[in-house]
Chains A and B, each alone.
Chain A
C-alpha cells in the first residue's frame, strides 16, 4: 500500500506531498497542512461542513480523495480574507446572526459564495434549495438564508 506523489495548489501555494491513497482531502488539509478551518461532520457527504472550492467549484472534501486532487487548485476558508464577496458574506452573517457554534460555517460560506456568484437572481426558495446540502443544528437556517439574501440584494 504505497504512497502516491501529488502536486496541487492550496490557497495559492504549490504543495507537493506523498499521500496514502485512502486519505481524503479534508484529512490532508487538516492533518498534513494544518488548515483546520475545514470541518469534518458526517464524513460521508451529507452534512456539508467540509465543503471547499476545488477548481473554483464547491465540493465535499470528505468524499474526495487527496490522491485524486493531483493538479487541482483548492481554496479553503482560510484563503478568503481579501475576497470581496466573502467580505460581504462575513458582514451579513454577523448582522443576521447566521451562526452560533460556527461548526457548519466554513461549509456554509463556501456554498453561500457559490449561490451569490452563480445565481444572482435567487429568491428565498432557491436559496433554501441550494443550501439543502449544508446542515446547521443551531440557527434553524433563518439567519443564514437572510444573510445570503442580503448579500444578493446588495450586489444587485
Chain B
C-alpha cells in the first residue's frame, strides 16, 4: 500500500502547470487535494512518472461573480463550500451537496476542480454540477475554453480535458429564488461513494427541467425535459428505464431499480 516512485514538481502558477504538463516525459498527473489520487497512488492503480502539484496556488482558491454565474476556483475545498463560502440560493445548494461528500477530514483537502477532473462516476460534483448547468473553464497552451460539465465525462475516469490542459474554474449559473433543486444519493454507509445519484433542477426563469442519473458505469445520464406546466408530479419512468438500458443497465435489475428510486426521490425533494 505504498505509492510507486514518481517525480514531483510544484507549479508556480496554472500557466506553469500547463507548461509542465506539455513538457513532461511519460505520464504526468496533476495533484490538487489528492483525496482520490492519494488512495489510487497507494493502491498503485495509477503510477505517474511526474506529479505536478497545483494545491498551493492561491489563484485557484478564490471565487467571483461573473454575469449570471458564480465562478469557483478549481482549488476551493468541499469544506469551504460546505461552510457557506458561496453566495445566494446556488451557494446553499452547493453547500448541501458538499456536506454529503465523504468525511470532513477528506472535505478539508478535497477540491471541486480535482473531483471533476478525476471524473469518478460515483462522485457528487460530476452529476450535481451537470444538473445545475455548470461549465468548466480549461486552460491550455492555446488559452481558455469552456466545456459544459454535462459533456465533460467521456466515460468512467475519462474526460474531455486534454493532456496539456488544467481545469481552472467552474462556472455555476446563479439560480433564481424560485428555482427548485432535489438531490438524492443512494449509498450504504454515510460518506461512501454513491451506488446511485438522482438530481433534479427546475428553473422557471430559464425554462429548464433537467434530470441527471449519476453513479452509472460511465458518464452521468443527463436528460433535458420539457416542463410547460412547471415542475411535474411524476417522471416518465418508462423513459428513464430506457435511458438506463441504453447506458448498460439492461441486465442489471438492481442497478436500474436504485437509479430509478434515486431519480424519484430527487424529484420529490425538488417538489417539497
Residues of chain A whose beta carbon lies under 8 Å from any beta carbon of chain B? 1-2, 4, 20-22, 24, 27, 43-46, 48, 51, 54, 57-60, 62-65, 67-68, 70-71, 110-111, 114, 128-130, 132-134
Contact = CB atoms under 8 A, between A and B. Distances in A.
Interface in B179-198: 189-191
Given A1-B7, A67-B8, A68-B31, A57 B108 contact: yes
B79 interface: yes
Contacts of A65: 8, 31, 34, 38, 51
Contacts of B108: 54, 57-59
A59 B109 contact: yes
Given A64-B109, A65-B31, A133-B191, A22 B38 contact: no
A111 B1 contact: no
Among A46, A68, A128, A130, find the residue whose CB has the most chain B CB atoms closer than 10 A: A68
Given A20-B5, A22-B6, A63 B42 contact: yes
Interface in B216-270: none
B35 interface: yes
Given A59-B109, A60-B38, 17 more contacts: A1-B6, A21-B7, A24-B2, A44-B1, A44-B38, A44-B42, A48-B105, A51-B105, A60-B106, A60-B109, A62-B42, A65-B31, A67-B53, A68-B56, A114-B105, A130-B103, A132-B190
A45 B33 CA distance: 13
A68 to B, nearest CB: 6
A51 to B, nearest CB: 5
Nearest to B100: A129
Given A65-B38, A68-B53, A2 B7 contact: yes
B41 interface: yes
Contacts of B34: 63-65, 68
A132 B189 CA distance: 8
Interface in B1-15: 1-8, 10
How big is the B interface, by class? 20 to 34
B38 A24 contact: yes
**Most chain-A CB neighbours within 10 Å: which of B6, B103, B109?**
B103
A131 B105 CA distance: 10
B103 A133 contact: yes
B53 to A, nearest CB: 6
Contact of B38 (A64, A128, A134): A64
A58 B105 contact: yes
Contacts of B39: 44-46, 63
Nearest to B41: A22
Given A67-B8, A68-B34, A132-B191, A114 B104 contact: yes
A22 B2 contact: yes
B43 interface: yes
B135 interface: no
B139 interface: no
Nearest to A44: B39
Contacts of B102: 45, 133
B111 interface: no
B38 A4 contact: no
Contacts of B1: 43-44
A45 B102 CA distance: 10
